[in-house]
Amino acid sequence: MKANEGASADKRGRRAADFAETVRDAAAGRNPTVGKDGARPTGVGGKNAGGHSSRHDALWREGVEEVARQGLRRELPSAAYHPALSDEKAPLVLCSNDYLALSGDPRLRDAAVRAFDEDGCGSTGSRLLSGNSRFHLELEEELTDFTGCEACLLFSSGYHVNVGAIPVIAAKAEVVFSDELNHASVIDGCRLSRTKTVTYRHRDVNHLESLLKRSGKGPKLIITEGVFSMDGDVAPVAELVELARAHGAILMIDDAHGFGCLGPDGRGTPEEAGVTEGIDIYVGTLGKAMGAMGGFVGGSQALIDYLTSTARALLYSTALPPPVCAAAAEALRIVRSEPWRREKLRSLSDMLRRELRTAGLDTGLSSTHIIPVIVGSGDRALRLARLLEEKGYLTRAIRFPTVPKGSERIRLSLRCDFTEEALKALARTLGEEAGKLGLGRGL
């Protein structure tokens, strides 16, 4: 045996012995990352595990300092309260997207447990490999029936839908028209497409029409949110359908915040507008009103067949876990059978909006369960969020670049299981605390 071969064999032997010792430590309840002398093993960047650093850290610190100078630094909260499972002493959570209060529903839990028992925790691969369980297929069938689309296709999140589907769809168009307040995932999808993208003024169909008239005769794609996530206003869906038909354009609605909540049967903004037949591509999410996780795109069978072969975010991403699919399917059944949830959500939203406007607060054009309180600066939004948390209300300050400068806000998102008493108390508190910052009437 050559010397270097012997050294390699010795090294492999030591690794095997180290691994065996690690397994024994774990089985005995000892921390395998701590040595007998209390020292931790060396990790990435030269520091021990749990405290990694890098010779490039100066670059990252410089980046953090730059966003801090711009007032844009974000920090993750130490621990978020689950809006459905927190105890009575927890704050009232007004920053979740759990609109129909389904995320903690025991029926979703039971459905997920049954799927776990049958198919395990993870999907083990992308949908084209090993990750396409019967729970994925059944959920797609449920979504297809509910939305009225010819077919639906599941993705791992709503963000995955837009960065996966939009580049494929936009590649067939000469120009994309996008509402100026569309979600970041729509913007990123348009950028990835490399197709010419033109933004039109928010909800301004006259501006869009003028742009369409100047765009030539080639294929066109119009993309809008259904309910705008930071403003709570609704796209003029009926007018957009008419424009798309008149100009031969493809119309795509991202209804992440309308799906399940709007329309007589919860089918979203197209149903609310009475134009379900006029939408070419419909995008929804399962992580908001449905209380689960994931996203989907609905449309013709030909579209879904095309995306199945070409959408990179589908092809190269691990599929949703089967228990999540089972929970989402159960949520969809509940949405269909319990209309009181969306009816109560609408009633509470209308009431709170009236109370806030009576207090002199600016709620913009909101007409849904998302209600902004526009304060006009990032510092003011942060201060108001802190004041509200001290009073028992968990909100978040929404700042540039999520919203345009000068429109910074507190974003209130409601759940159907809130009480009128709690929301009236919130409105009083908001009026008082906003008054300390020179906003509203300072009630």
Q: Are 226 and 270 in contact (CB under 8 A)?
A: yes
Q: Are 229 and 198 in contact (CB under 8 A)?
A: no
Catalytic residue among 136, 160, 220, 288: 288
89 is catalytic: no
Catalytic residue among 119, 140, 162, 183: 183
Catalytic residue among 136, 160, 220, 257: 257
160 is catalytic: no
Q: Which structure tokens are listed for 136? A: 């994925």
Q: Are 177 and 201 in contact (CB under 8 A)?
A: no
Catalytic residue among 162, 229, 317, 349: 229
DSSP 276: G
Cα–Cα distance between 167 and 194 in angstroms, integer?
A: 8
What are the angstrom distances between the C-alpha of 345 and each of 253, 297, 328, 410?
A: 22, 25, 20, 19
Catalytic residue among 98, 254, 280, 433: 254
Place of tokens 């039109």: 200
Catalytic residue among 98, 142, 225, 233: 225
433 is catalytic: no
Q: Which structure tokens are listed for 133? A: 């369980």
Cα–Cα distance between 298 and 67 in angstroms, integer?
A: 38
Q: Are 221 and 199 in contact (CB under 8 A)?
A: no
391 is catalytic: no
97 is catalytic: yes
What are the angstrom distances between the C-alpha of 359 and each of 387, 424, 426?
A: 17, 11, 11
Full strand arrangement of the beta sheet holding 249-254: 151-155, 295-299, 281-285, 249-254, 220-225, 175-179, 196-200
Catalytic amino acids?
97, 183, 225, 229, 254, 257, 288
